[in-house]
Structure 1
Amino acid sequence: MAGVEEIRAGISLATQKAQESMAAIQQAILTLEEGQQALAAATQGSGQEESQQAQGLLSEAIQTLSGVQGTINASTQAAEGYASRL
């Protein structure tokens, strides 16, 4: 079994990577929001079902990514809690 310092170092690396992924997800959310705004502007006043469906799907994607961020954050907190008890 790895020593305490090796475990802490591994957890530190894992949490760093998790933070990097959260930043990438945040950028993806911002990009999706920009796309959603562009779609809304382009289809303003359109009663087409596909337009509304596309807007809804983009909203769903944004919500899903936000949920993923929450899950990653919870994982990071759990790992850091474990490391603090070593």
Structure 2
Amino acid sequence: MAGVEELRSWVAVATQRTQGAVAAVAQASLQLEEARTALVAAGSAIGTGSAELDRSSGLLDEARASLAEAQRAAMAAVSTAEAYAARR
């Protein structure tokens, strides 16, 4: 069975990796927002609404919402693991 210090060390590694992943997800979300903004600009440039561009923009919003949920879940996992390690 692992000692307390080893457990805390592994939790620290998991926390670090998760925080890196959360930062990458934040960057991906920003890029999706930039893509959505480009679609809105494209729609404005042609002067008429396009159902396909509107749908694409909506799908990008859904993707961003999914990424936000992934970030929340990842950070909840970190909090749970850290709380466990702190009780040891």
Identify unmatched segments of 5+ residues in structure 2.
Answer: none
Q: For residue 51 of structure 2, what is the aligned residue in structure 1?
A: 49
d(CA) in 1 for partners of 2:58, 2:48: 14
SS of the residue corresponding to residue 47 of structure 1 reads: coil
Q: Give the AA of the match of 1:69.
A: Q
Q: For residue 7 of structure 1, what is the aligned residue in structure 2?
A: 7
Q: CA deviation at 1:43?
A: 1.3
Identify unmatched segments of 5+ residues in structure 1.
Answer: none
Detail structure 1 runs of 4+ shifted over 3 Å in the superposition.
none
Alignment of 1:26-41 (within 5 A): 26-41=26-41
d(CA) in 2 for partners of 1:36, 1:3: 49
d(CA) in 2 for partners of 1:47, 1:26: 29
Q: For residue 80 of structure 1, what is the aligned residue in structure 2?
A: 82
Q: TM-score when scaled to structure 2?
A: 0.93
SS of the residue corresponding to residue 46 of structure 1 reads: coil
Aligned length: 86
Relative contact order higher in (CA < 8 Å, ≥ 6 apart):
1
Q: TM-score when scaled to structure 1?
A: 0.95
